[in-house]
Amino acid sequence: MDSRLGDLLTGEQVYTLLQAITSIDPMEAGYVYDTLSLQELAEEANVDLEHVYKLCQEENIHLPFGKKTKLHSSIVERLQSKLQYGE
């Protein structure tokens, strides 16, 4: 989080990112993100937050903001299925 964008991306990647930022509709981009955080998902499933966090690690789900990360709707569905059916 403390690194400069230029230190992480090539010039071509920066250009592609700028194109995406200037052409994406913010409402459309935010639409696919659920409003649930890991804590809320854990409460909804009636399980411990650490269990959900470990499940994310096992499933290789990246959480850039740790337990405060807002989740993509497809990830919420995947986690809910695993929590509900114990897959």
Task: Give 29-40 pLDDT, tens digit per residue.
Answer: 656 666 678 888
- Taking residues 9-17, what's their average pLDDT? 87
For residue 81, how many C-alpha atoms fall within 13 Å in the half-sphere facing its CB?
8
Which of 79, 87, 82 has the alpha carbon at shortest distance from 39?
79
The dihedral built from the CA positions of residue 8, 20, 22 and 34, taken in this order, carries a sign that is: negative
Determine the pLDDT at residue 16.
87
Task: Give 62-87 pLDDT, tens digit per residue.
Answer: 888 887 888 888 888 889 888 876 65
Question: Is residue 25 over pLDDT 80?
Answer: no
